[in-house]
A and B are shown apart, each in its own frame.
Chain A
Amino acid sequence: MKRWLRIQWDPIDEAALAHERTISRGIGAVIYFLGVVREREGEANISAIDYEAFEKMAARQFEKIFEAVERRWPIESVRVVHRIGCVHVNEPSLWIEVTAPHRGEAFAACQFIIDEMKKVVPIWKRPITETSSANLDRTARPGTNH
Chain B
Amino acid sequence: MKVLVTFHSYFRDLTGATQVLEDVPSGTTLGELVHSLQKRFPKLKSMERSTLMAVDVEYQTRDYQLHDGDEVSLFPPVQGG
Q: Which residues of A contact B (CB under 8 A)?
A: 35, 51-54, 56-61, 82, 93-94, 114, 117-126
Interface extent on B, as a size class?
10 to 19
Residue numbers in B under 8 Å from A52 (CB-CB): 8-9
Contact pick for B80, options A56, A59, A60, A94, CB 8 Å = A94
- Residues in A with CB closer than 8 Å to B58 are 57, 60
Report the bound CA distance from A46 to B6 in whole Å: 29
Q: Interface on chain B toward A: helix, strand, loop, or mixed SS?
A: loop
Closest to A82 in B: B80
User: Could you say which residues of chain A place their CB within 8 Å of the CB of B59?
Assistant: 120
20 further interface pairs, Cβ-Cβ under 8 Å (given A35-B81, A117-B81, A120-B59)? A51-B80, A52-B8, A53-B80, A54-B8, A57-B56, A57-B58, A82-B81, A93-B81, A94-B80, A118-B79, A118-B80, A119-B78, A121-B80, A122-B8, A122-B75, A122-B78, A124-B8, A124-B9, A124-B10, A124-B75
Give residues 65-81 of B contacting A (CB, 8 Å). Answer: 73, 75-76, 78-81
Q: Tell whether, in the assembled complex, residue B73 and residue A54 are in contact, meaning their CB atoms are under 8 Å apart.
A: yes
Among B54, B57, B73, B79, the residue within 8 A (CB) of A125 is B79
List chain B positions with a Cβ less than 8 A from chain A.
Answer: 6, 8-10, 52, 54, 56-59, 73, 75-76, 78-81
- Closest Cβ–Cβ distance, residue B55 to chain A (whole Å): 10
Q: Is the interface of A mostly helix, strand, loop or mixed?
A: mixed
Distance between A109 CB and nearest chain B CB, rounded to angstroms: 16
Contact between A54 and B75 (Cβ–Cβ < 8 Å)? Answer: yes
Question: B57 touches which one: A53, A60, A118 (CB < 8 A)?
Answer: A60
Q: How far is the CB of A16 from chain B (nearest CB, A)?
A: 21
Cα distance A12–B61 when bound, in Å?
35
**Do A57 and B54 have beta carbons less than 8 Å apart?**
yes
Across-interface contacts of A60 in B (CB, < 8 A): 57-58
